[in-house]
Structure 1
Amino acid sequence: MESVESGLVIVDKPSGWTSHDVVGRMRRLARTRRVGHAGTLDPMATGVLVVGVGKATRLLGHLALTEKGYDATIRLGESTNTDDAEGETTATASAAGVSDAALEAGIAALTGPIEQIPPQVSAIKVNGERAYKMARKGEEVALRARPVTVHAFTVTGVRRHGDVVDVDASVACSSGTYIRALARDLGASLGCGGHLTALRRTRVGPYDLGMARTLDELAVKTEVLPMEEAVASAFPRRDVSDDDARRIAHGGRLPAAGQGPGPVGVFAPDGTLLALVEERDGLARPLAVFVS
């Protein structure tokens, strides 16, 4: 049986699965080893995981850099060693006195361009070793703060249960933002600690939950977003002549067309996707060529 065509599969990741587990399942469904994903989701999290099949695996690194959206639940009053519900509780402090005004002020301080220290249990490498492996051995991991942007951090619900407060929120943020760290830092700023209890990714760039399919649905019918549609929806589009198409197909450069610093999708006259290019120093240079 032949493998499915190259393209993107937008998966609604189930809770309890790692992103790698999903890739393994998709390899069987797509009948090819050439499968990867853009932007890891923690096992606890659910929602949009962009999976590339075949040639589309070469798009993933560029798609991972786009803006993401999340629905989250943050519990104030309890801290954990992983900054989420999968870790062990390390401290408790009553959040009963946290007012709605204080909550809004704390969230406002975490909105916009911020410096964020990643969670101790994260995949970031420190001296060649993953931080989470060091943390599991009981080592204190010194992670540097990194610039990220929280475009929107909106409270959608507040539930008070004695000493803990559960805050539902919607977050839109740049690549590299840890929602677990937002929960931790919000709790720290309010003096009661906090951690993430639920996370659902609603969007990666232009790909949202409306396009996502569960693994059970994909087992019945593996829906693949063709390469041309995937690129046209995520990046600026440039249509070129036959001569320029031949040049790009062989890794050549074109004059820049003023379409910005990010990746641009280049298409042949017949609509075939040729390449992703970036414009620099007056030239459009190939990042990835998809035809040979």
Structure 2
Amino acid sequence: MAAPRARVQRRPVHGVLLLDKPLGLSSNQALQKAKWLLRAEKAGHTGTLDPLATGVLPLCFGAATKFSGLHLDADKTYEATIQLGVTTTTGDAEGEVLAQRAVPAITAEQLEAVRQRFLGRITQVPPMHSALKKDGKALYEYARQGIEVERAARTVQIYKLNMAPAQSGQALVAIDIEVSCSKGTYIRTLGEDIGQALGCGGHLSRLRRTATGPFLTAQCITLQALEALDDAARLAALLPPEALLPDHLPITLEGEEAGRFLAGMRRRGDWPDAAQVAVFGARPRALLGTAHVRAGELIAQRLLSPVELQQMLGVA
């Protein structure tokens, strides 16, 4: 009989881990592995990556989970490969083949014309194999039952689109793309639409997220590397919760003013109006929460609890 698995003693952990998500794991599976390695009590992620996608996945722990939703609106950058001539049920290599078509000879001029067509504001119909909800149920749940539901087209922004042939012998059978885009852009759908525009269809055979908001793959750590670290080094790999607030105006409050703000009280000052504010206590410097300023009044939005603040500062 196998020995019972040792129970992990959970602890309060606060911060952001920039994970390079591996191939084959869902975002939640990757989150649970990192949570177990850090022995964290509370964790969440800032939007999902498909199991067949790799790359930047910010994971939030403890107090950072209060601000994770703010990162859902961040712009993203991806690298992907479109396999031409084959369409699938999911728009990627995970699905079943729907159709196979011959890939016509594609000139550089045709490729450039298609690239220009998908730059700027475009509309997309969300794929059935997505987490988008209809009547409280994710679309992929309908898809698994063989049910297709009507989806409204959405407008998204493609800021940058680079396309280059991926050669196999002498024939053009795949295209490598790099995409910088707004939130809500489905790269699988973009790949399918590009394949359709080239007259042969296509699906994604590779997808990697290289940036989300200010976070880049160069800043990320793999699960394998995280596991190889000792406990102190794992904690040191975390960014502070305010890493999720790069576009927030920083305001620092002294002593009693900080305490009153932390209690939810409005504070007055000569601050400019601002929709997004990160509020810090002065000594020691620590994030207290987010707020907005209207007519010189600082109004709290999301606050850390006194317990969270004490844990972050290492105060018993």
- TM-score over 0.5 for the alignment? yes
Deviation readout 1:84-120 (Å, 9 max, x if unpaired):
1111111222223222222222222222122211111
Q: Aligned pair 1:181/2:196, yes or no?
A: no
Q: 2:150, 2:26 → 1: CA distance?
A: 25
Of 273, 276, 281, the match for 1:268: 281
* CA distance 1:280–1:136, shift in 2 (3 Å): farther
**1:25 and 2:33 aligned:** yes
Query: Which residue is equivalent to 1:46?
Result: 54
Could you say if the C-alpha distance between residues 167 and 260 of structure 1 is closer, same or farther in structure 2, counting changes exceeding 3 Å?
Answer: farther
Aligned with 2:24 (options 16, 19, 22): 16
Alignment of 1:38-187 (within 5 A): 38-159=46-167, 165-187=173-195
In the alignment, what sits opposite 1:225? 239
Q: Do the aligned partners of residues 128 and 5 (structure 1) sit closer, same or farther apart at CA in structure 2, a change above 3 Å counting?
A: closer
| Post-superposition CA distance 1:37-93 (Å, at most 9, x none) | 001000000111100111111121111211111111112221111011111111222
- Amino acid paired to 2:238: V
Report deviation, 1:10: 0.6
Q: Which amino acid aligns with 1:22?
A: A
* 2:313 aligned partner: none
Q: Which amino acid aligns with 2:279?
A: V
CA contact (8 A) 2:267 2:298 kept: yes
Equivalents in 2 of 1:246, 1:286: separation in Å? 12
Q: TM-score, normalised by structure 1?
A: 0.90
Which stretch shifts more, 140-149 or 234-243? 234-243
Q: Give how far 1:164 is off.
A: 5.6
Distance 1:254 1:172, change over 3 A: farther
- How much does 1:13 deviate? 0.6
Q: Choose which of 239, 244, 249 in structure 1 pairs with 2:262.
A: 249
Describe the shift of the 1:92–1:178 C-alpha distance in structure 2 as closer, same or farther (beyond 3 A): same
Matched residue SS, 2:73: coil
Measured after TM superposition, the shift of residue 143 of structure 1 is: 1.3
Whether the 8 Å CA contact 1:94–1:163 is kept in 2: the answer is: no
Corresponding residue to 1:7 among 15, 22, 37: 15
Which one-letter code corresponds to 2:264 in the other structure? Answer: G
Q: 1:161: how far off?
A: 5.8
Q: Which secondary structure state, in structure 1, belongs to the residue aligned with residue 18 of structure 2?
A: strand
Instruction: Determine the C-alpha separation between the residues in 2 that align with 1:254 and 1:109.
Output: 50
Q: Is the radius of gyration larger for structure 1 or structure 2?
A: 2
1:137–1:249 distance in 2 versus 1, CA, 3 Å: same
Q: Deviations over 1:122-154 (max 9, x none)?
A: 111112221111111111121111122111111
CA distance 1:284–1:26, change in 2 (3 Å):
same
CA distance in 2 between counterparts of 1:281 and 1:99 reads: 59
Moved more, 40-49 or 165-174: 165-174
Output the TM-score relative to the length of structure 2: 0.84
Mean Cα deviation higher: 148-157 or 180-189: 148-157
Runs (5+) with no aligned partner, structure 1? none
1:237 is aligned to 2:250 = yes
* Greater displacement, 107-116 / 21-30: 107-116
Distance 1:56 1:93 in 2: 48
* Contact 2:122/2:155 (<8 A) preserved: yes
CA contact (8 A) 1:11 1:213 kept: yes
Instruction: Give the total of aligned pairs.
Output: 290
Q: Please, which runs of 5 or more residues in structure 2 have no aligned partner? A: 1-8, 307-316
Which residue of structure 2 lines up, in the alignment, with residue 287 of structure 1? 301
CA RMSD, 1 decimal: 2.3
